[in-house]
Each structure stands twice: as structure tokens, then as C-alpha cells.
Structure 1
Amino acid sequence: MKRDVSVLLDVEVHAESLLEFQIAVAHQPGVEVIESLSFELGGVRRTAKEVSGPHGSRIHVLRCGAGNLRTEYSARVLGAARPEPPSDYDLALYLRPSRFVESDKMLGFAASEFGCGIDDPETPGRVAAWVADRIGYLPGSSAPSDSAVDTLLTSNGVCRDFSHLMVALLRAVGVPARVASVYPPGCMPMDFHSVAEAYVDGGWQVFDPTRLAPRSSLVRIATGRDAADIAFLGNHGGDITVNGLWVRSFVDGPLPYDDHIHPTTIN
């Protein structure tokens, strides 16, 4: 499948800051990426340092002073990713509670709803369907500091809230789970998107409880414990305002169908 993705990010930097961008397509075996990335501060080209993260994630680090920063990225993505074999460390890490995924606070609730899911390959699908049925997709209904517990209590959220809740419930019943940021062809409204991945039958399977985009069309950007690991923009030390964010992603040809039931991976 050939996919084209792009993003334009307009940021006002009010004081000197160290910025971290996670907008570039992840490095994955089997995937060819033809891409361009540029940063312009007040019309002057700047160069960022690329830092390699886990699971092929790429962080572009830029220290800049005050001014208007314009960031543009585009990529043509060819091929399909070969599955990444989980390490023993991954399986331990993605069972632990984290900042936005307080699985330790959901042990009793998750057990009463889903039982123990360690040896049941059907558990992630049941949890994804439960989250899809119980949580309403409502833009603006959550704050950046909201966690999985907040989503469970309010029953509303956006994609990151859906994936946080699903991952929290899975970890609570003993299934290693993580989140991924992706470019999502077919998603409406178009934006960066967050999905959940669960360890099933020896590998990572992707689930999207929002059901907003076909999973086989997704393009991986970053992977981690929760939103703190996969944020498209991090700011350290300064003050910034995001003036605008425009994301585009589409496939060459018809959009693939997804029943959101059968197992699949991020390609």
C-alpha cells in the first residue's frame, strides 16, 4: 500500500525553548519512507537533531529563541512493516502503570468486567469493543492532563483517551499493552491519531476503539507507555503557543475496509 502523509505546524515561541517533535514516520523494517522535514524560525532555516527512540520512533530536537516557528513534514510510505518481536523488557514495561494509564487503580473493576486475560487471546478484542460501546467520542471533552481513570468516570474523550482506557484495562488483567501515535488515512476529523496495541499470541496487535480509521492503513509515528511518550510536540523551558496544526494522510486507491474485529498489525 502506498500512503502519503504530511503535517504543517505553526508555533509561536515566546521565550527560548527546547522543543521535541515526534512527527516523522517511524523507522521499521520493510517500510520505505521518502520524506522531507524543515524548520523555519522567522523565515530562517533551522536544523534539528534527530534522536532515535524505541520501536523506530524518531525525536527531532530543536533549541530556538523567540519567534514564529514553521514546521513542515511530508512523506511517501511504501511497503508493509515486518512485525517487531517483543523483548522481555517490553513485556515487563508494558504491564506497569504509567502517568496516564493507572492500571493499578483498575484491578478490581477490570477483573470483574473481563476476568484474567493473560492466556485468553480474545480479551483485547472484548476490551476494545467494551470501550467503543461505553465511551463517547467528543472533541474538547477532555484536558491534556486527563488519565484513563478520568475517561472511565466521564465516559467521554478523544482518541488518546480511548487508547489510554483500553491499555489501562488490559494491563490490569495481565495483558501487556502500549499506545502508538499514527497518521490515520480515512480518519474524520483528520489529525494525529492514537491507537492501542496488545500483546497477543506472541506479537503486537493493533486496536482502535474509536473505529475512526481502518487499521491496515495506519502509519506508525511513535510508540510508548502513554501520551507522555508519543506527544507530537514537547516543550522544555520556554513558553509557546500553537497557532495551527494541519495533518493530511491518505492512501493511493480505495480506502481499505476494517471490521475492527479481525487481528491485524500496524503496517
Structure 2
Amino acid sequence: MDASGREVSAAIDADIVGETDIELQIAVARLPGLEVDEHLEVTLDGTALEVDELASAHGGRIHRFTAHEGELAIRYEARIQGRAEASQEEPLDGSIYLRPSRYVDSDRLFGFAGGQFDLEREPVELAQDIARFVADRLEYVPGASAPTDGASDTLLAGAGVCRDYAHLVVALARAMQIPARLAAVYAPGCDPMDFHAVAEVLLDGRWTAIDATGLAPRVSLVRIATGRDAADTAFLDNHGGTMTLRSSVVTAIVDGALPVDDIAELVPIR
């Protein structure tokens, strides 16, 4: 099973007070090898809003618009066919994705990583060691973390949700000089179903997905946005005014049976 046929959707409702500029990252990334039939509708009090599309890193797309006071409704659905080409190393990847970032304070984890892992092991083995360590160390507990928590907070707390797992994997990889980043994805089979976050590590010139939560098979993932951490990949952001999220419903399915994941395999997001 290659999970090449996939369907995803997102329904977001929010209340707006005052004028605000809003950015969405919910559309499937535009990547070679994928055929995407999609529809995005944004309305305020039932009236359609004009939406601009901006190209982002690694095929991602930001949809930006201005909204005034009222009830905002966002509806997105897509049918995906085919398999994207595996993400290859780009010239700046080895620099950008080794640096500490807002939620990935890898510079605070150098000593811990050096004492916890055998740094003489090959990068592929280290990446697998990190995945097993984070899976064993953390407990998946919705509400256990705050939106401002970084990787070192998660390590100390021992609990979190998908973004916390991904941040800790990325931080430990960077602390051991393995370039790593975060990908926001649609994840068929994920339970609880929602927007999902996984880590990616650069191994032998190719980006490989690591999902220490084990909540969804990596072969079925659909890339939305890619960045240093969750600050770069937020599904909804606003500037000015006030926005209160009322509901968010995400779906993601594959054609046929859900694939089985093998944590020992190197699997790219495709």
C-alpha cells in the first residue's frame, strides 16, 4: 500500500473583533509528483472574502486576507493523487536547520544529548535512537503544554502533544549536529484527528520523517508547511484586531486500508 490516493479537509470557525490581517497554512503543499484537486472558501458573515496566495518554503502556501468584525468561516478540501518527490537537501539546509529557533532551544540541550546518546553512532542510528527516546520519555497528554513551551520545557515536563514531540526530536537532532526541521501535515489515521506535526531530519542528503508520537503512518502523511519550528508552520495566525477560535475540524483519509508504519524504516513525506 503506497497511500497515493488521499482526501483531506479543514473547517475552521472564528469570531473577529476589529480589523485584522489573517494568514492560513492549511492548503496542501505544491510539490512535484502530486496532483491536487482542491477548493478553499473564506467567508465573513456569509460573504466571500478575497484571498491572496503566497509561496512559502518547500512548496508551502500561505493564504492571506483582511477581515473585519464578524463570524469567520474557512472551508478547505483537497483530493490528492500520486506521490511527491522525496524532499532533497537544499544549499542552506545544513545552516538554517542546525540553528536554535523559537521553540527549538537546542543550544540548551548540548550537554544532555552528549550524556544521553552515543555520539559515535552513525546519524541514521542516532536519529532512530532519538525517536525511541522521545517516544519513551513523553506521554501524549492534550493540554499538558502551553503554547509558549519549547523543547527543553517538554523534556522537563515529560508530556505534551504532537508539536511538543516534534520540537524535542528536532532539538536533540540539532544538538547532535543533525539538521532537523518541523513539518505540519495532514495525517490519515491520526487519533485524535487534527492538524499534525512531525520532525524531519536530514540523512544522506534526503529529508526523513520522524513521528515519535506513533499516531499515524508516515507513508500516508500529506505536507502542508515546513519550517524551523511551529512558529513557521502555524495553521492560523492574525495581526491586529482580535480573533477567537470557536472550532476546528480536520479530516484525512487514504484510499483502501491504512498503511502499517515501521519505525525502523527511513520514510520521507511524499
Q: TM-score, normalised by structure 1?
A: 0.98
Residues 1:9 and 2:12 aligned together: yes
Aligned twin of 1:166 = 169
Aligned to 1:213: 216
Using the alignment, how far apart are the partners of 2:38 and 2:228 within structure 1? 27
The residue aligned with 1:130 is 133
Q: Out of 91, 95, 119, which is 2:94 matched to?
A: 91
Assess if the C-alpha contact under 8 Å between 2:123 and 2:178 holds in 1: no
CA contact (8 A) 1:96 1:171 kept: yes
AA matched with 2:102: R
Q: CA deviation at 1:145?
A: 0.7
Partner of 1:182: 185
- Contact preservation (8 Å) 1:115, 1:173: no
- Structure 1: unaligned runs, 5 residues or longer: none
List structure 1 runs of 4+ shifted beyond 4 angstroms. Answer: none
Q: CA deviation at 1:9?
A: 0.2
- Residue 139 of structure 1 is matched in structure 2 by 142
Q: Name the SS of the counterpart of 2:133 in structure 1.
A: helix
In the superposition, the TM-score normalised over structure 2's length comes to 0.97
Superposition pairs of residues 1-267 of structure 1, within 5 angstroms: 1-116=4-119, 119-267=122-270
| Displacement of 1:119 | 4.7
CA RMSD of aligned residues (A): 1.0
Structure 2 vs 1, CA of residues 241 and 194 (structure 1 numbering), >3 Å: closer, same or farther? same
Alpha-carbon distance between aligned partners in 1 of 2:98 and 2:203, rounded to the nearest angstrom:
13
Q: Give the secondary-structure state (helix, strand or coil) at the position aligned to 2:66.
A: strand
CA contact (8 A) 1:116 1:174 kept: no
Structure 1 SS opposite 2:216:
coil
- Paired letter, 2:212: P
Residue by residue, what CA displacement relative to the aligned partner does 1:63-90 show, whole Å, maximum 9, x if unpaired? Answer: 1111001000000011001123211211
Deviation by residue 1:1-30 (Cα, 9 ceiling, x = unmatched)? 100000000010111101000000001110
Cα distance in structure 2, aligned partners of 1:84 and 1:47? 32
Instruction: Describe the superposition over 1:137-168 as per-residue Cα deviations: whole angstroms up to 9, x where unpaired.
Output: 00011111111011001000000000000000
What secondary structure, in the 3-state scheme, does the structure 1 residue paired with 2:163 have? Answer: helix
Q: 1:117 to 1:65 in 2, by over 3 A?
A: farther
Q: Which runs of 5+ in 2 are unaligned?
A: none
Question: What displacement does 1:202 show?
Answer: 1.5
> Residues 43 and 74 of structure 2 are in contact (CA less than 8 Å); yes or no, is this contact kept in structure 1?
yes
Percent of aligned pairs with the same residue? Answer: 49
State the secondary structure of the residue aligned to 2:23: strand
Cα drift, residue 36 of structure 1: 0.1
Post-superposition Cα deviations, 1:107-145, rounded to whole Å, max 9, x if no partner, equal 010111124379532111110110000100000111111
